[in-house]
Structure 1
Amino acid sequence: MNALSPMPMIAATETLLAEVVLHEGAALTVLRGGTRIAARRAISCLIEPEPGDLVLLGGPAAQPYVLAVLERPGSRPIRLAVAGDMEVASDGGRLTLNAETLVMSARTGQVAIEDLALSGGKVAARFGRIGLVAEAIESLVTRLLTRARRSYRFVEETDHLRAQGVDHRASGHMNLRGETAVMHAAVLVKVDAAQIHMG
């Protein structure tokens, strides 16, 4: 066989247009030339065909493959779906997602980013439970408001508070206790109560 000899045909194939009439699980039924036939979605066809779609067929005539979804009537959403695991990668490049609204839903998830920067105008979060482990946390806010039914804080070493003014109020009992207690005031120390016990 020389270089000009034609390549032998492995199998008889054809490429045609058809309309999807039924989609149940992984099974597809398409209408081609007035005849309903079973079809399979090719791996390269990431858009999941839906009834009414105009698709491109290729492969064996008995059970062809849906190679691509060409048209979809109306404004129904387009779903990219694969069977099994899927990885979207940009090796050495940048992956960008742009949308008016971004919605992510999964039963479990993992995010591992070495250097993360988040920017947004407003964040509303709702969690059942949060566990946080960090070497250091630094926060810079203009106003911080916390509302809790119960609050516990355990500090192994030193706890420092620096403020222009400090106001602690308790509608019930307040207990300040330490091995050594020191109180300094540059101008005035005032203790006011119906009863005062010292010693």
Structure 2
Amino acid sequence: MDNRARKLEINTAEQEVATVIAAGAGGLVVRASSGDYRSRRAASCLLAPAVGDLVLVAILSSGGVYVLAVLDRKAGAPGAIAYDGDLRVELPAGRLELAAQEGVGVVSGKDVSVAAGEVAVKAARGSLLVQGMSIIGGLLSAEIDTVKVVAGALDSALDRLSQRVKRSYRFVEEVDQVKAEQIDYAAKKMMRLHAGNALMSADELVKLDGEQIHVG
């Protein structure tokens, strides 16, 4: 019984209200009515204390001092939820939402991954800046009023390409080359081909068929 009593006495703690007078890489220094203490932030105190904060500290009989909670902070001062090590927010049931009036930023020195059954992004304006992108999917469906693409090079490899447009315009400054096994152009009204010099050649047959053929 004496040994147990001694152990309980060693592990006792007194609580005081203190003010943070120093905060940095070297730890925290708090000022209480009983004196100044070099302290550590308790694992449950996720809000990182800052200079000037009113905090609740636990002074252990073994000599350690821990900041348990931030009680008050100057109005409008920024705050940071900080933890040394990996941190996971887990909800066995329910929904997690992040809401902010001025904005939400996600910053990572390495990777950011999102895994979900469905992802929806809604915004009035958006921008995406990446050095490289890879997309693997089964279906892409888009309804867009205007698309503008400026690129140094565009390469695509497709099994099939189908396009249905009302009007199509292409402006090629240098070379426009098509290589295919078969090419079929059909126009309901008129087809016009014009060039400074035009060459047509075939290995076997060249055929011109029409009600009238004008040469020259």
SS at match of 1:29: strand
Q: Judging changes above 3 Å, is the alpha-carbon distance between structure 1 residues 67 and 182 closer, same or farther for their aligned structure 2 residues?
A: same
**Match for residue 41 of structure 2?**
41
What are the within-5 Å matches in structure 2 for residues 171-182 of structure 1?
171-182=173-184
User: Cα distance, 1:74 vs. partner?
Assistant: 5.1
Alpha-carbon distance in structure 2 between the residues aligned to 1:52 and 1:34: 18
- Quick check: which has more Rg, 1 or 2? 2
Aligned equivalent of 1:88? 89
Cα 1:73–1:183 change in 2 (3 A) is: closer
Where 2:180 maps in the other structure, the secondary structure is coil
1:21-36 mapped onto 2 (5 Å cutoff): 21-25=21-25, 27-33=27-33, 35-36=35-36
Give the corresponding residue for 1:10: 8
Deviates more, 1:181-190 or 1:20-29: 20-29
- Residue type of the alignment partner of 2:93: G
CA distance in 1, matches of 2:68, 2:133: 45
Name the aligned partner's letter for residue 114 of structure 2.
Answer: V
1:142 maps to which residue?
145
Aligned to 2:31, the other structure's residue is in SS state: strand
Measure the CA separation in 1 of the matches of 2:60 and 2:180: 85
Deviation at 1:134, TM superposition (A): 1.3
Following superposition, the deviation at residue 27 of structure 1 comes to: 2.1
Deviations 1:97-138 (A, max 9, x none): 110211111112211112112211110121111111112211
SS at match of 2:117: coil
Say if 1:194 and 1:38 are closer, same or farther in 2 by CA, change over 3 A.
closer
Whole-angstrom distance in 1 between the partners of 2:76 and 2:167: 59
Percent identical pairs in the alignment equals 23
Cα 1:117–1:175 shift into 2, 3 Å: same
Amino acid at match of 1:83: D
Gaps of 5+ in 2: 202-216
Q: 2 CA distance for matches of 1:50 and 1:36?
A: 16
Q: C-alpha separation between the residues in 1 aligned to 2:89 and 2:28?
A: 26
Q: CA RMSD in A?
A: 1.9
Which 4+ residue blocks in structure 1 deviate beyond 4 angstroms? none
Where 1:10 maps in the other structure, the secondary structure is: helix
Higher helix content, 1 or 2: 2
CA distance in 2, matches of 1:161, 1:13: 75
Q: How many residue pairs are counted as aligned between the two chains?
A: 191
Q: Structure 2 length normalisation: TM-score?
A: 0.81
Tell me which of 84, 108, 111 is aligned to 2:114: 111
Match status 1:78 vs 2:79? yes
